[in-house]
């Protein structure tokens, strides 16, 4: 059907209907959902059978009737897949799992079951020498997982395919990863919302403690597969968005719940090594949060930020009373903390004052040079190439443990019937420092200065034109970020017993270093509080648990960043500004051939 417009041109006004994408596997919806449920149940039942005949494979998968090791991960994934698939039947009490009625979460969970089970079968075959080492339980769970995936791929496709997406196998999976989240659910009573927040942090604590407590690399890899697909499925279901809405509504309750969950962590670990990983994660996360002030709020690309951590650590080590300290003084801890933060603050101002008039790549190069200059200077202050201050490459060893109010952090203590080890003591101390840094970051971001930083980050020229003193505020951000890093460095010096210049490089196999700190901010989400904390936890935990992959760490790290930039460029936790920047807003474009209304100008046409 064509009609004539006022200028005489003919336009087609026939409405074309867009066909809904058909399932990849041509199954009736009821049959597809039944296959998904049946397959996940079969996979779950298979975890109660033996998967191999020998205990040489870690986890003791030879027991019938009691899942262990990687079988537990398959059991959890299969149970979640069953629940999400059953929610599509409209069963009372399960509808809240998929408030938008989408099938993407079920599809992702089914893929997680297949991924975890398939990895376990492959690992058993590789380590024991072939598929012959598999017992019937492995085959039952493997076949069940495959049936569940086939059924999930046959479920009706979700709406919202973009013009560049295709409802084939890859397009369906990609759409499941990036589909819009459902809208807001109905409001609940305040007490119910508080209970949901507490339950959410409780589940998060359990998952985090389980991941750190994995005793062998095969179990940790399976945990990553299960957690990755599970988190993405929950995100696509809209549950994370609903929890975020509740946490924003009850902000004080959220902060209290997060702090309580973090305090409980060392009491869940019986191995001192795992508690030490938690303490180091907090150090890494606190420094990343300080870098977030510089990069996430002010938009200053700092590639030598780890040097400020080193300044605080060296300052605290020199006044710690170590026998190898060239100064020979012993400050109380509160004075050592102030010394480390003040030293980093001074270095931040000294380095930032002459360089912050630069922008972009030039500033990044200068900060990279500062980081290398710091490391080389610490090496040269050995009494030969320069004054004897830092003992050169030998560093400052034998840093004594802290003693606060008669409480020696180097000794284990019995707290509520549970032994709190040295690492647990330092974890709780670092948690207190993290809470202080979070408070400083939050207050700064919400203040007038924080809004000015964001304006400078978005467009420094426009901000300057509006009367913002860009140089002074950038120097303030640089100094604040440096002092927060120095604060964490004072604790790091005592946790690690010794410090050396090699610990503070731009890139290396062991974090923290400048490259991993910057990646933690980008991975987690720039400008947010929880983003750098999550990013730092992942980037520290994965190398710490997968020592055998240390040679390929940078390769895998780069590959992970490529995937992140492709599927979630705004980071794991993104603010509203980043979501609007990297994703479509849903606004309709004005057709080019649409006639302009009377009185419209050429500027309006160009804008359209």
Confidence of residue 15 (pLDDT cuts 50, 70, 90): very low
Residue corresponding to tokens 């648990």: 545
What are the boundaries of each domain within the chain?
Answer: 29-186, 269-393+419-582
Residues 6+ apart with CB under 8 A from 163: none
Distance of CA 563 to the CA centre of its chain: 14
Name which residue leads in pLDDT, 83 or 588: 83
Sequence-distant (≥ 6) Cβ neighbours of residue 414 within 8 angstroms: 420
Residue 413 reports pLDDT greater than 60: yes
What is the pLDDT at residue 578? Answer: 62
Spatial contact of 23 and 162, defined as CB atoms under 8 Å apart = no
d(Cα 208, Cα 224) in Å, to the nearest integer? Answer: 11
Tokens representing 327? 């100064």
Q: Give the per-residue pLDDT at 214.
A: 86
Fold observed for domain 269-393+419-582: ABC transporter involved in vitamin B12 uptake, BtuC (1.10.3470)
* Selection from 306, 281, 542 nearest residue 423 by Cα: 281
Residues in contact with 66: Cβ distance below 8 Å, sequence separation at least 6, in sequence order: 48
Contact predicate 434/282, CB 8 Å: yes
Backbone angles phi, psi at 601, to 5 degrees: -105, 175
**pLDDT of 440 above 50:** yes
Average pLDDT over residues 391-398: 83
Angle (nearest 5°) at CA 542 between 196 and 220 = 75
**Six token digits for residue 129:** 């020498």
- C-alpha 414: how far from its chain's center? 33
For residues 202 and 418, the model is more confident at 202
User: What is the band of 164 on the pLDDT scale with cuts at 50, 70, 90?
Assistant: very low
Q: Mean pLDDT across the chain, nearest whole number?
A: 80
pLDDT at 47: 93
pLDDT tens sequence across 245-279: 888 888 888 888 888 888 888 888 777 888 888 88
Cα atoms in the Cβ-side hemisphere of radius 13 Å centred on 346: 8
Q: Over the stretch 302-340, which tens digit does the pLDDT of each residue have?
A: 888 888 998 999 898 888 888 877 787 888 888 888 998
**What are the φ/ψ torsions at residue 4 (nearest 5 degrees)?**
-100, 140
Reply yes or no on whether the pLDDT at 85 is more than 50.
Answer: yes
Higher pLDDT, 434 or 506: 434
| Buried b / exposed e along 352-370 (16+ C-beta atoms within 10 A) | beebbeeeeeebbebbbeb
CA neighbor of 499 nearest in space, from 310, 286, 283: 310
> Does the structure show a pLDDT above 80 at 567?
no
How is residue 401 annotated by DSSP?
P
All residues at 6 or more sequence positions from 396 whose CB lies less than 8 Å from its CB, including other chains: 314, 317, 318, 320, 322, 324, 325, 390, 493, 498, 499
Backbone angles phi, psi at 16, to 5 degrees: -105, 135
Q: In Å, what is the CA distance from 149 to each residue of 43, 104, 302, 543, 544?
A: 11, 12, 45, 31, 32
- Measured on CA atoms in the order 305, 307, 313, 319, is the torsion positive or negative? negative
d(CA 303, CA 298): 14
% pLDDT > 90, the chain: 13
- The two tokens of residue 569 are 């460029």
Q: What pLDDT is stored for residue 225 in this prediction?
A: 92
pLDDT of residue 333: 84
User: What are the tens digits of pLDDT across the range 190-240?
Assistant: 888 888 888 888 998 899 888 888 888 889 999 999 998 998 888 888 888
């Amino acid at each position: 059907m064509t009609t004539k417009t006022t200028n005489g041109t003919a336009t087609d006004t026939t409405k074309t209907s867009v066909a809904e994408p058909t399932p990849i596997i041509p199954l009736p919806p009821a049959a597809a959902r039944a296959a998904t449920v049946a397959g996940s149940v079969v996979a779950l039942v298979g975890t109660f059978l033996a998967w191999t005949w020998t205990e040489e494979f870690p986890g003791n998968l030879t027991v019938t009737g009691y899942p262990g090791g990687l079988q537990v991960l398959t059991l959890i994934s299969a149970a979640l897949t069953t629940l999400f698939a059953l929610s599509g039947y409209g069963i009372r009490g399960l509808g809240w799992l998929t408030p938008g009625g989408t099938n993407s979460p079920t599809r992702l969970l089914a893929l997680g079951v297949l991924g975890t089970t398939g990895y376990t079968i492959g690992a058993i075959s590789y380590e024991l020498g072939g598929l012959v080492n598999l017992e019937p339980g492995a085959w039952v769970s493997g076949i069940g997982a495959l049936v569940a995936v086939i059924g999930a791929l046959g479920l009706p496709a979700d709406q919202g395919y973009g013009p560049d997406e295709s409802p084939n196998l890859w397009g369906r999976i990609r759409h499941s990863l990036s589909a819009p989240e459902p809208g807001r659910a109905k409001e609940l009573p305040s007490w119910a919302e508080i209970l949901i927040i507490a339950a959410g942090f409780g589940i998060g604590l359990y998952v985090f403690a389980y991941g750190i407590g994995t005793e062998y690399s095969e179990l940790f890899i399976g945990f990553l597969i299960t957690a990755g697909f599970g988190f993405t499925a929950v995100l696509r279901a809209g549950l994370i968005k609903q929890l975020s809405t509740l946490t924003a509504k009850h902000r004080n309750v959220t902060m209290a719940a997060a702090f309580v969950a973090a305090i409980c962590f060392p009491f869940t670990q019986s191995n001192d090594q795992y508690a030490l990983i938690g303490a180091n994660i907090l150090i890494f996360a606190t420094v990343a949060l300080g870098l977030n002030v510089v990069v996430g709020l002010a938009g200053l690309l700092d590639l030598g930020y780890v040097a400020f951590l080193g300044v605080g650590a060296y300052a605290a080590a020199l006044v710690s009373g170590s026998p190898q300290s060239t100064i020979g003084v012993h400050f109380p801890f509160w004075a050592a903390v102030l010394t480390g933060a003040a030293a980093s603050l001074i270095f931040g101002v000294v380095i930032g004052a002459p360089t912050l008039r630069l922008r972009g790549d030039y500033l990044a190069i200068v900060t990279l040079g500062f980081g290398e200059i710091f490391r080389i200077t610490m090496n040269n202050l050995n009494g030969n190439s320069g004054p004897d201050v830092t003992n050169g490459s030998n560093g400052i060893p034998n840093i004594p443990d802290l003693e606060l109010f008669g409480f020696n952090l180097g000794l284990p203590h019995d707290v509520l019937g549970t032994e709190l080890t040295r690492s647990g003591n330092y974890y709780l101390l670092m948690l207190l420092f993290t809470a202080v840094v979070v408070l400083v970051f939050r207050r700064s971001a919400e203040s007038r200065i924080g809004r000015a930083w964001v304006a400078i980050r978005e467009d420094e020229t426009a901000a300057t034109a509006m009367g913002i003193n860009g140089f002074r505020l950038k120097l303030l951000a640089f100094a604040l970020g440096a002092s927060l890093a120095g604060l964490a460095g004072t604790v790091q010096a005592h946790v690690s017993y010794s410090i050396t210049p090699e610990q503070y490089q731009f890139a290396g196999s062991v974090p923290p270093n400048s490259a991993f700190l910057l990646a933690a901010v980008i991975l987690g989400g720039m400008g947010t509080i929880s983003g750098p904390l999550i990013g730092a936890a992942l980037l520290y935990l994965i190398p710490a648990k997968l020592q055998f992959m240390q040679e390929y760490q940078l390769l895998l790290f780069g590959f992970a960043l490529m995937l992140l930039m492709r599927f979630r460029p705004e980071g794991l936790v993104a603010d509203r500004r980043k979501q609007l920047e990297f994703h479509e807003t849903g606004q309709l474009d004005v057709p080019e051939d649409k006639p302009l209304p009377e009185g419209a100008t050429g500027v309006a046409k160009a804008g359209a």
